[in-house]
């Protein structure tokens, strides 16, 4: 019975880890004065990479501070 419990626990843990680290389609939305001014489809990526790419769009353009977040 212990072996079955440990096997099931290990299997569920592996499934949970694979779901959280899988690639998904992410979108980057940049806002200024609480209004979306720019949107980009980031495609199929891991969340960490998507956040990095989206934050690279944070900038000050003609005095406007854009804040970009991943959706």
- pLDDT tens figures, 7-61: 778 777 765 666 555 788 999 999 988 888 889 999 999 899 999 998 887 776 6
- Do 58 and 69 meet the contact criterion of CB atoms below 8 Å apart? no
Whether 40 is covered by a domain: the verdict is yes
pLDDT of res. 27: 93
Q: Is residue 6 part of a domain?
A: no
Residue 57 included in any domain: yes
Is 1 contained in some domain?
Answer: no
**Which domain does 42 fall in, by range?**
23-71
Residue 12 lies in a domain: no
- Give me the number of domains the chain comprises: 1
Q: How far apart are CA 61 and CA 38, in angstroms?
A: 12
What's the DSSP call for residue 57? Answer: T
């Amino acid at each position: 019975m212990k072996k079955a419990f440990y096997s099931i626990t290990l299997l569920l843990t592996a499934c949970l880890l694979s779901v959280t680290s899988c690639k998904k389609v992410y979108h980057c939305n940049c806002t200024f004065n609480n209004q979306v001014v720019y949107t980009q489809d980031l495609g199929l990526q891991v969340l960490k990479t998507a956040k990095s790419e989206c934050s690279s769009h944070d900038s000050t353009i003609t005095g406007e501070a854009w804040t970009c977040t991943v959706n």
